[in-house]
Structure 1
Amino acid sequence: MSFAKGERVLSFHDELLYEAKILHVKEKKNEPLYHIHYVGWSKYWDTWTSESEILKKNKENVEKMENLMAECKETERIEKSKVSRSRKRKLSISLTDKEEIGIELTFQLPDNIIDILQHDKLLVEDGCSSKCNVGPSIAEFMNAFRTSKSKSLCEFENSKMEEFEKGILAYFDVVYGKFLLYPTEKDYNCSKIRSPRDQCSVIHFIRFLSKLHSFLHDLFKNPANQQMLKEPIASLLSWTSERVEESNLLVEIKQYFTEPPVKTQLKKIT
């Protein structure tokens, strides 16, 4: 074992290095694995990692960590500069113009997701309300996503994906009632459900994805967080887009909504 329990080290997370503390050490298939805690971060990010992802904490490696972070911040500054030179408008699930969707995001919404958002809004404008307990729940959807990816991931990557799944579900539960319903839907019984992740439909999840950047805005101010979340979010968007296409969701979208109120005309009394 090159590192010992309790030792302060530097550990890679994606392309950046972070100070970490080794909590536990074990062997798997004659290779050492280290359970680490990133110093200054929540226990949520504690994970198992391989020896190849860890460096000794010495002057040379600390300089390497600082240089990688500086390069990341410079890349972020350049990207922000590019955005400021072009006309950008913030994404909202209330938008209907495709030109306005997918702007100011660190990731891009697939076209078929944008189409669903537009049809979603039109149905609500017609008096429909989104329904719960239709099709797979958000928890089932995220579990299917993680399971599909886990086959090609190592133990460390699987651990990160599990943490990502838990984080997405926690965010969804918190923001659902306040941010993922149109004003006309808030009196509908879907607004006060006890467990959004277990009862909401893919329509609510697509609304959630469309606002994910604004939900994570403060978190994304740190370039290290952007780097950490960029790949799993892009993967989730791509996977969701594929499931939407496979299920022909755009054609079947009305099953996720209540029927619009019947419009009656008053007959003129003669």
Structure 2
Amino acid sequence: MRKPLLAALATLAIAGTGVAPAVAAPQAAAVTVDFAGIVSLSNCSGSVVRFPGSTDTAPALVMTNGHCLETGFPSPGQVITGQSSSRTFGLLNSAGTTVATLRANQVLYSTMTDTDVTIYRTTTTYAAIKSAYGISPLTLSASHPTAGTAIKVVSGYWKTIYSCNIDGFVYRLKEGSWTWKDSVRYTSACNTIGGTSGSPVIDTSTGQVVAVNNTGNEDGASCTVNNPCEVDANGTVTVRKGINYAEETYNIPACFTSANVLNLSAAACTLPKP
């Protein structure tokens, strides 16, 4: 998991604050990716997100990791919905400056089973944020990402943007007691560190979110906390020290109405249920 660690602080001190690792060659059709709509949490990163069908007057949502939940890691098999929250988020503009504090009133959904995501409902709307700060939410793609896609991982905690490509997909990613399905594996240039947990993974050709950054193998250990291992359909385990991962988000939009109401009973919704 990519919550802040002393090692991350040391890494940043060596690399230089705000300096991203090696950047992949930009694609001709790439859109501008900056910090607008990104948020900082007390221990993680996140973003203000909408779904393709969300209305402007719907409550604004913030997405981060399940393991960033303020009440602690959800247990394997646990799905949390409708939990009261007053968590705050620092809203960033395109330059990475904090321009507002958003506040949650509910955890709409949180789990570390199959995926690693928390979605908060805030006390304001997309329209109100746009009117006050000129900032639009990021849109979650409803399509499965593609291997080779150029991506950017945008951390509000560190105010750093990592650039790389999707290297491939992992049948099962195991870390400690948790297992995630169809995880995104980055190429090595996205050398994410503690505090980047919950950062949106943005497809640079569309500007849409295709995954949420969540972990990486730090020490080369196998299937332990902070050292996830890859398991293929035949049960073969592969360890990739220094490689980082994210969880896909394309299956989330089908579980929400246009008013951003969670509906886990929707026919197309495949998210784990309580």
TM-score range normalised by the length of the shorter chain: under 0.3
More helix by share: 1
TM score, norm. by length of structure 1 = 0.24
Larger RCO: 1 or 2 (CA < 8 Å, sep 6+): 2
TM score, norm. by length of structure 2 = 0.24
Larger-Rg structure: 1
